Structure formats: C-alpha cells, structure tokens
Amino acid sequence: MKMSMPGAGRGNFTRRSLIGGAAGALTLACVPRPALAIGRLSAGDAELTTLSDGSLTLPMSFVFPDVDQVELEAMLSANGMATDALRPDCNVTLLRRGDRLAIFDVGSGANFMPTAGKLLDSLAEAGVDPGDVTDVIFTHAHPDHLWGLTDDFDELVFPNAQHRINQAEWDFWSSPDTLAAMPEERKTFVVGAQNRFAAIEDSVAFFKPGDEVVPGVEAVATYGHTPGHISFMVEGGGEPVLIVGDAVTNSVISFEKPDWPTGSDQDPALGAKTRAALLDRAAGDKVRVIGFHFPHPGGGTVERQGSAYRFVPL
C-alpha cells in the first residue's frame, strides 16, 4: 500500500517553496544552468538514474590511518589519484518502476561540506520534482547520506515520501548511549542523525535484511561501515543491480585491497569482511553495482584480478 508523509498534498505553500519559487524563477530566467552528468541503467522494467550530490574531501589520516602509507601512495599515484586526500564523488540513485519513484539516500544537504549538497540542482537538471518521490530508502545514517533529508527551514525535502530505514540502524543512532560512546570528532554525526530522525519519527517505516523494501528491491545486510548498513539488490530478470552504499567506498583501493581497514568504517574488521564478501558475490554472479562514492555516475561491474578485484565502469 502506498503511504505518504503527513502534510502530503500541502507542500505547495511551504516557506521553502514560497521563497524558493520566486527566487528560483528569477535565477532560471537570468542564468543558464550548467549541464550535469546523469547515469542511467535498466533492471528489467525498472529504470535507475544516478545523480550527483557533489563530492567530499577526506584526509588520508582519516580514511586509511592504519595501512602501509608507502604502498598506499604508490597505488594512488599509479591510478592518477591525489595522495594528500581522497575526493570521492557522491552518487544518489533514483529508481522508477511502475507508479513508484524511490530515492536511495538523500545526500548531505547544505551543512556538511561546501563541495557537497548539490542534489536538488541535479534533480532539477533531471526534471524530477521532489514532491513526486514516493519512497526515500536509506543505506545508513552518515551525514553525506542523511543530512539532505531536511532543508534550511527544517522542512522535509521529499514531503510526500515514505521514509524507510533498517531498524538496527535507526536503533543505533537513536540511542543515548551512542552519543556518549562516539569519539568527540564524530559526535556531530550522532546529533545530526537524531535531529533528522525527529522529522520522520512518527511515520518512518522499518525493514530488516532480507525484506522486500519496495517491489523488486531486497535489503542486503552489509554491516561494518555502520552497525545497520544495508545494500540493496534491485531485481530485474537477468539484469540485477546492487546498490552498495558505503559497503565498498573506493573504486581502486577497496577493490585491490578489500582487506585493508578504513577509518570510515565504525567496525573496520567487520567492514573489511563484508567488503570482501560483497565483491566476491558481485564478481561471481556478474551483478552490476552502483557505488555511492565511485567516480560519477557510479555504475560498473566487478571482475576478479588475481586474489583481488577490479572495478570496470559501465
């Protein structure tokens, strides 16, 4: 049964639309919009579109503090990548099937990094009205995946959508114990998640691994990056697509060295185990994948390369 958020159908008269409508009309009339890259895949009768939310800048000391730095720099240099920081793209996936328009994660919003939070521009470029989105589905609750849930007026960006998240992920970020136990530099992650959860707490829908979240989309447990991280298998006859979220974060390092621990995982050991299993499954089953932080537009396949793997962009 299709469900909607409270206030569905009343979004025409929010503060955001009143202010943004007048200013936006003037801007569109005067300034040509730059074209944004858009990726498209099909999975049976489903159409998948990947849109950019911009990019992040992550210091190496944060992402890979506990690996051989000489080997890391050599790998990065050999692949034409900077060695001072990772600057991953952020790819948000839309799924259109029948009368459903689902979005997987919602980007950073305006308050995380200045290079991110571009999703609304990308939706406009793709001709998608946020009010038409029926389902918002979260892989996990890190800022670059969750904080775009609300706008500068604390109003829901997708006001008519049902918001869906793994029960275990919700429980972790909602717990008072999580804030107390989180390292100081990440406490804002918890506060930000709890603030945004408050906006949907009366109507959020929970699922668990193995559930069909929306028709033709199965929740796949990929824990480690966060305690309740989920990837999603989009069924499509002989053309399935796996939306991996942050279970695999880098199209080079995660493939060549899936066992390397990363500081972006809350449980580095479990994250490495999950990553290796996911890549093995994708390569063996010849499943196409979409990575949130792969080079835009994010889609590709996984090939075995000796004892490791290789990402092949579509």
For 171-194, the pLDDT digits (tens) are 999 999 999 999 999 999 999 999
Instruction: Report the chain's mean pLDDT, rounded to a whole number.
Output: 89
Q: Which of 12-26, 80-94, 144-158 has the lowest mean pLDDT?
A: 12-26
Residue 168 pLDDT > 90, yes or no?
A: yes
What would the mean pLDDT of 220-225 be, rounded to a whole number?
A: 98
| Band of residue 4 on the pLDDT scale cut at 50, 70, 90 | very low
Q: What is the pLDDT of residue 238?
A: 84
Residue 301 pLDDT > 80, yes or no?
A: yes
| Band of residue 237 on the pLDDT scale cut at 50, 70, 90 | confident
Q: What is the pLDDT of residue 184?
A: 94
Give phi and psi for 279, each to the nearest 5. -65, -40
List pLDDT tens digits, range 58-97: 999 999 999 999 999 999 999 999 999 999 999 999 999 9
Q: What is the pLDDT of residue 37?
A: 62
Q: What is the pLDDT of residue 3?
A: 29
301: which DSSP letter? Answer: E
Q: How far apart are CA 37 and CA 313, in angstroms?
A: 15
The tokens of 218 are what? 């199965």
Q: What is the pLDDT of residue 304?
A: 97
Q: How far apart are CA 187 and CA 184, in angstroms?
A: 5
Q: What is the pLDDT of residue 39?
A: 87
Q: What is the pLDDT of residue 203?
A: 87
Provide the total of helices (H) and of strands (E) in the chain, helices listed first.
10, 16
Residue 162 pLDDT > 50, yes or no?
A: yes
Residue 288 pLDDT > 70, yes or no?
A: yes
Architecture, CATH, for domain 30-232: 4-Layer Sandwich (3.60)
Sign of CA dihedral 239, 245, 247, 250: positive
| Band of residue 24 on the pLDDT scale cut at 50, 70, 90 | very low
Q: What is the pLDDT of residue 264?
A: 95
The tokens of 308 are what? 């490791």
Helix, coil or strand: residue 242: strand
What percent of the chain shows pLDDT beyond 70?
88
Assess contact for 230 and 166: CB atoms under 8 A: yes
Angle at 239 between CA 286 and CA 221, to 5 degrees: 65
Q: What is the pLDDT of residue 148?
A: 98
List pLDDT tens digits, range 27-68: 223 333 444 568 898 998 999 999 999 999 999 999 999 999
List pLDDT tens digits, range 100-117: 999 999 999 999 999 999
